[in-house]
Amino acid sequence: MKLNDAQTHLIAGVEQVTSLYLLPKFSRDADSILHEVANLVGELCWATEDMRDGQSGYGEAGIRLRETANDFSRAGYHLGMILEELDAV
């Protein structure tokens, strides 16, 4: 066999392997793309809900923190008033 024939045979074999085994793994049709996009949208909705729940939790924690700070402020004020009364005695 000549070198040119061997090269042609090798290239034909590579083309055959590529078209039979490699391309089907990477090719997409409209239905598979639509299915993947639908899955991605579903995952995005799930992530958005989790983010919304997380933000809600931070909002509630902020409200409780503000209430606690106000309680400490009132307690500090009352303690200051008691100390002033004790100093006056």
Closest CA to 26 of 34, 35, 18: 18
47-63 confidence digits (pLDDT tens): 988 888 878 788 888 89
Tokens of 5: 């024939």
Calpha distance 80→68 (Å, rounded): 18
Domain hosting residue 41, numbered range? 3-88
Q: For tokens 């990477």, what's the residue? A: 26
Query: pTM for this structure?
Result: 0.44
φ/ψ of residue 27, rounded to 5: -85, 145
pLDDT at residue 43 greater than cutoff 90: yes
Structural domain tally of the chain? 1
pLDDT band at 73, cuts 50/70/90?
very high
